[in-house]
Amino acid sequence: MSTATITVKQRSSGLTGAIASEWTKLWTVRSTWLNLVGGAVLTVLLGIQFGFSTAYDNAHQPLGDVPGQTAVGGVGVSSVLILQVVIAAFAMLPVTSEYSTGSIRSTVQWTPVRRNVVLAKATVLAPVLFGYGLLVGLLATVSGGLAMGHWADWDAATLVVDLLSIATYLTLAGIFTAGIAFLIRSTAGTLTAAFLVLMMIPLMLAQSSIRALVWLAALLPGGAGQNFLSGSTDPLTPPLSLAVLILWALGGLWIGTKVLARRDA
Contacts of 103 (CB under 8 A, 6+ apart): 97
Instruction: Give the model confidence (pLDDT) of 158-204 as tens digits.
Output: 999 999 999 999 999 999 999 999 999 999 999 999 999 999 999 99
Across 51-65, 103-117, 218-232, least confident range:
51-65
CA angle 61, 63, 69 (to 5 degrees): 40
Helix then strand count (H, E) for the chain reads 11, 2
Whether 46 is covered by a domain: the verdict is yes
Whether 5 is covered by a domain: the verdict is no
Where is pLDDT greater, at 109 or 242?
242
pLDDT confidence of residue 40 = 95
| 153 strand-pairing partners | 71
Q: How does residue 111 score in pLDDT terms, banded at 50, 70 and 90?
A: confident
Whether 243 is covered by a domain: the verdict is yes
Whether 32 is covered by a domain: the verdict is yes
Q: Do the Cβ atoms of 111 and 197 come closer than 8 Å?
A: no
Task: Judge whether residue 94 has pLDDT over 70.
Answer: yes
Whether 188 is covered by a domain: the verdict is yes
Task: Judge whether residue 265 has pLDDT over 90.
Answer: no
**Count of CB atoms situated within 10 Å of the CB of 9:** 5
Whether 185 is covered by a domain: the verdict is yes
Instruction: Give the model confidence (pLDDT) of 113-134 as tens digits.
Output: 889 999 999 999 999 999 999 9
Across 26-30, 131-135, 235-239, 259-263, least confident range:
259-263
pLDDT confidence of residue 9 = 42
Whether 60 is covered by a domain: the verdict is no
Q: How does residue 67 score in pLDDT terms, banded at 50, 70 and 90?
A: confident
Task: Judge whether residue 12 has pLDDT over 50.
Answer: no
Instruction: Give the model confidence (pLDDT) of 205-256 as tens digits.
Output: 999 889 999 999 999 999 999 999 998 888 999 999 999 999 999 999 999 9
Domain encompassing residue 135 = 15-55+66-262
* Mean pLDDT of the residues in the chain: 90
pLDDT confidence of residue 13 = 53
pLDDT confidence of residue 93 = 94
Task: Judge whether residue 5 has pLDDT over 60.
Answer: no
Total structural domains within the chain:
1
Rounded Cα gap, residues 238 and 55, in angstroms: 28
Whether 3 is covered by a domain: the verdict is no
